[in-house]
Amino acid sequence: MDAGWRVNSLARKLNLSPRQLERRFQRIHGVSPHRWIDMQRCTIASAELSRNKQSKWVAADIGFASASHFSRWFKAHMTLNATAFVQNAGRS
């Protein structure tokens, strides 16, 4: 996974401990940094898939080393797999 998508990497860049980042981020944004990162990844993945970009390229763009891991993650977060998402996006 691309280090830019990790809470520890973000904390290091901000000169904070991961726990300090968790507390401050939660207080300001109302969600954990990990949850926020997941929401950003979902937004980007959904937009790219809607433009018919291949799953393997979307996976790489949002920091996944393998398309299969991205597929499992996407289904867990979006309640349907990437193929079904693209088919549903084409209908709207």
Domain ranges across the chain: 3-91
In whole angstroms, what is the distance from residue 79 CA to residue 53 CA? 19
CATH architecture type of domain 3-91: Orthogonal Bundle (1.10)
- So what's the pLDDT on residue 1? 44
pLDDT at 88: 86
What pLDDT was estimated at residue 47?
95
Cα atoms in the 13 Å half-sphere on the side-chain side of 81? 8
CB environment 44-82: b (16+ within 10 A), e (fewer):
ebbebbeeeeebeebbeebbbeebeebbebbeeeeeeeb
Res 56: pLDDT: 93
| Average pLDDT per block of 10 residues along the chain, 92 residues long | 73 94 96 93 94 93 92 93 85 60
Q: Is the separation of the CB atoms in 10 and 21 below 8 Å? A: yes
pTM of the model: 0.80
